[in-house]
Amino acid sequence: MTIALEDFPISKYDFGGGAVIDCSERLSMCGAACCKLPLALSTEDVREGVVRWNHARPYLIARNSDSYCTHLVRDTHGCGIYKQRPIPCRSYDCRTDSRIWVDFEARIINPMIHDPDWPHFIHATDEAFDRRRE
């Protein structure tokens, strides 16, 4: 079985990095696409027991059937565990991620994020993971 677990040299509560992005002004465009991206939890996350993970794929963050993170608050597109969110969520910078933005400054979204199977690499990764388990 393959296990995905990140270990960071710093606690997520001491982490001071991360981008400052006007998410609330862009959510109507991106639909919180970043909450569909896969991420591995840290030992700190797992021990803390707040962040849910996928028991079939330890320790990837848990997702709903539509691929969104289980912690996404649907009506606000906010994070239900914001203060306890993992370091990858704290540090993620969508501004240069072409999977989400064609041009961040011009507010041109990648039209592929509206495809129900976006991001396609999640499914490819899941299939490869399943083959490794067999």
Mean pLDDT for 100-120 is 89
Task: Give pLDDT, residue 118.
Answer: 85
Task: Give pLDDT, residue 1.
Answer: 59
* Statement: residue 49 has pLDDT above 80: yes
CA torsion angle 89 103 117 27 (round to 10) = 60
Task: Give pLDDT, residue 120.
Answer: 62
Tell me the whole-structure pTM to 2 decimals: 0.80
Q: Could you give the number of structural domains in the chain?
A: 1
Mean pLDDT for 84-112 is 93
* Statement: residue 44 has pLDDT above 60: yes
3-state secondary structure the chain: CCCCCECCCCCCCCCCCCCCCCHHHHHHHHCCHHHHCCCECEHHHHHHCCCCECCCCCCEECECCCCCECCEECCCCEECCHHHCCHHHHHCCHHHCCCCEEECCCCEECHHHHCCCCCHHHHHHHHHHHHHHC
For residue 83, the enclosing domain spans: 23-128
Residues 6+ apart with CB under 8 A from 125: 38
More confident residue, 121 or 19: 19
* Domain annotation covers residue 108: yes
Task: For residue range 55-94, list pLDDT tens digits in order.
Answer: 888 999 999 988 899 999 988 888 999 999 999 999 999 9
* Statement: residue 96 has pLDDT above 80: yes
Percent of the chain at pLDDT > 90 equals 55
* Domain annotation covers residue 27: yes
